[in-house]
């Protein structure tokens, strides 16, 4: 199964908050910088307009008031100002400026400001106010000094770093309990479920841990009840099965002394008791917890298959079924009991659900393949109907046993039967 793209919750929150913090801090830094210069420009424009209104000037006679150059004619302004601005584009009472600097984050080396002052009543002619700042550097000052833009950006960067640091601390304080919860939940088993639920610092995590612990306890209790039921039922079945087996043997002995009309019924009882015995042993083995301690020995799967085919021939009595057996002399180190349970269930399943056809049993190395083909397809069990009385029980038992042993198990339904393959490794 291909897993989809997944993102860590911690990384998602970290990236989202960092992006949001960067946008907010950058926006406020730019806004503060713009408001600062807007305020400075407003003060400068107001001062220059007041100076022009309170000073009388005539063409050809510019006045200088508090470093402001006030002229009645554009040509009376300094050449440096006239070369930077166009009088035809100047709007009344608007501040125009030209700032020169080597880098945007360094203090300007020179600056020029100009304002056109008009008389709205039309009594006085237009006047021009200009101010020129040159480079003013004190002896104890460094050559390059950060500008207001630079200080704003630097302050914003410092705030962003502090914000990121606080965010990392907060995420770590949250992620550590979450990681502890993950490791605790991952390590839960039948033994650790008996221990009390640890404390995970936060109320929500404690509630989640309690829910996980309670759910797994309910699951464990259900599994224990199921295991106990299977074990007790299988043990209880042993006694009536033993009685049936002994009674059948006694009837066989009585039959040897003389013919009996109930011979067929006796054989059916005998076959059913064999099936019940094998099924009971399989269920008991599945309910045990010490399946990993099974005795492993050197055996030939081919010989075991041949023996099982002979033992289960009674299931084909009265049927037109041909058995094809193909084995080799491969020797495997596996639990004989487990192999007998698996092969016995598969062969019994194939014999029981084939009325007229062929059962092919092949063994090559550690690979076993059993295929039953029905000549009359109308008698085949339909796998799409979920018929548990058909293929379900035998295959389900084999699936559970092979899963416990770690063997590779595959099966598929065909148009005329079923094919099962097992790799003993």
- Structure confidence at residue 358 (pLDDT): 92
Q: Does one domain contain both 228 and 317?
A: no
For the chain, the domain total comes to 3
Residue 2 scores a pLDDT above 80 = no
Residue 303: inside a domain: yes
Q: Does one domain contain both 46 and 118?
A: yes
Residue 4 scores a pLDDT above 50 = no
- Whichever domain contains 211, its CATH number is 1.10.287
Q: Does one domain contain both 304 and 352?
A: yes
Residue 182: inside a domain: no
What percent of the chain has a predicted confidence (pLDDT) above 90?
9
Q: Does one domain contain both 29 and 125?
A: yes
Q: Does one domain contain both 26 and 129?
A: yes
Residue 163: inside a domain: no
- Structure confidence at residue 278 (pLDDT): 67
**CA dist., res. 408 & res. 27, Å (int):** 62
Residue 1: inside a domain: no
Q: Which helix (H) or strand (E) holds 4?
A: none
Token readout for 369 is 């393949």
Burial of 291 (0-12, 13-18, 19+ CB in 10 A): middle
Residue 352: inside a domain: yes
**Domain containing residue 369:** 295-423
In this prediction the pTM is 0.44
- Structure confidence at residue 368 (pLDDT): 93
Residue 389 scores a pLDDT above 50 = no
- Structure confidence at residue 383 (pLDDT): 45
The string of pLDDT tens digits covering residues 17-27 is 888 888 888 88
Q: How far is CA 83 from the centre of its chain?
A: 66
With cut-offs at 50, 70 and 90, classify the pLDDT of residue 380.
low
Residue 417: inside a domain: yes
- Structure confidence at residue 181 (pLDDT): 85
Q: Does one domain contain both 148 and 277?
A: no
Of 244, 272, 289, the residue that ends a domain is: 289
- Whichever domain contains 393, its CATH number is 3.30.565.10
Q: Does one domain contain both 283 and 401?
A: no
In this structure, are residues 395 and 411 in contact, taking their beta carbons and an 8 Å threshold? yes
Of 289, 314, 344, the residue that ends a domain is: 289
Residue 118: inside a domain: yes
Q: Does one domain contain both 313 and 285?
A: no
Residue 246 scores a pLDDT above 70 = yes
- Structure confidence at residue 390 (pLDDT): 40
With cut-offs at 50, 70 and 90, classify the pLDDT of residue 388.
very low
Q: How far is CA 378 from the centre of its chain?
A: 47
Q: Does one domain contain both 13 and 153?
A: yes
* Over residues 371-377, mean pLDDT: 82
Q: Does one domain contain both 410 and 301?
A: yes
**CA dist., res. 198 & res. 394, Å (int):** 44
Q: Does one domain contain both 367 and 301?
A: yes
- Cβ partners under 8 Å of residue 229, min gap 6: none
Of 157, 172, 197, the residue that ends a domain is: 157
* Over residues 119-148, mean pLDDT: 68
Q: Which helix (H) or strand (E) holds 342?
A: helix 336-352
Residue 394 scores a pLDDT above 70 = no
With cut-offs at 50, 70 and 90, classify the pLDDT of residue 195.
confident
Average pLDDT, the chain: 78
* Over residues 219-240, mean pLDDT: 70
Q: Does one domain contain both 112 and 193?
A: no
Phi, psi (deg, nearest 5) at residue 106 = -105, 155
Residue 193: inside a domain: yes
Token readout for 290 is 């010490």
**CA dist., res. 4 & res. 7, Å (int):** 10
């Amino acid at each position: 199964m291909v897993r989809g793209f997944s993102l860590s919750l911690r990384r998602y929150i970290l990236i989202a908050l960092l992006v949001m913090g960067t946008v907010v801090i950058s926006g406020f830094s730019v806004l503060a910088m713009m408001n600062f210069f807007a305020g400075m420009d407003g003060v400068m424009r107001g001062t220059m307009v007041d100076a022009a209104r309170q000073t009388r000037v005539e063409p050809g006679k510019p006045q200088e008031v508090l470093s402001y150059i006030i002229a009645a004619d554009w040509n009376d302004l300094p050449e440096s100002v006239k070369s930077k601005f166009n009088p035809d584009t100047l709007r009344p009472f608007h501040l125009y400026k030209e700032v020169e600097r080597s880098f945007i984050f360094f203090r300007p080396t020179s600056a020029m400001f100009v304002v056109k002052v008009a008389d709205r009543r039309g009594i006085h002619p237009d006047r021009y106010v200009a101010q020129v700042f040159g480079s003013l550097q004190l002896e104890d000052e460094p050559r390059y000094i950060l500008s207001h833009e630079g200080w704003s950006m630097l302050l914003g960067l410092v705030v962003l770093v502090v914000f990121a640091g606080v965010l990392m601390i907060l995420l770590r304080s949250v992620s550590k309990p979450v990681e502890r919860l993950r490791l605790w939940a991952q390590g839960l088993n039948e033994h650790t479920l008996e221990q009390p639920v640890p404390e995970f610092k936060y109320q929500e995590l404690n509630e989640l841990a309690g829910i996980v612990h309670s759910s797994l306890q309910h699951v464990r209790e259900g599994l224990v009840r199921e295991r106990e039921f299977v074990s007790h039922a299988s043990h209880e079945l042993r006694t009536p099965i033993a009685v049936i087996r002994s009674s059948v043997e006694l009837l066989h002995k009585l039959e040897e002394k003389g013919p009996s009309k109930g011979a067929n019924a006796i054989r059916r009882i005998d076959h059913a008791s064999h099936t019940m015995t094998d099924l009971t042993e399989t269920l008991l083995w599945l309910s045990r917890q010490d399946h990993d301690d099974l005795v492993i020995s050197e055996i030939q799967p081919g010989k075991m298959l041949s023996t099982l085919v002979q033992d289960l021939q009674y299931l084909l009595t009265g049927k037109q079924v041909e058995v094809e057996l193909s084995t080799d002399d491969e020797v495997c180190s596996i639990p004989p009991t487990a192999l007998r349970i698996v092969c016995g269930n598969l062969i019994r399943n194939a014999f029981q659900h084939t009325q007229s056809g062929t059962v092919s049993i092949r063994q090559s190395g550690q690979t076993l393949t059993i295929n039953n083909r029905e000549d009359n397809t109308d008698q085949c069990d339909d796998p799409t109907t979920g018929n548990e009385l058909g293929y379900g029980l035998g295959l389900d038992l084999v699936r559970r046993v092979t899963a416990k042993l770690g063997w590779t198990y595959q099966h598929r339904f065909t148009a005329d039967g079923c094919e099962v393959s097992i790799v003993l490794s």
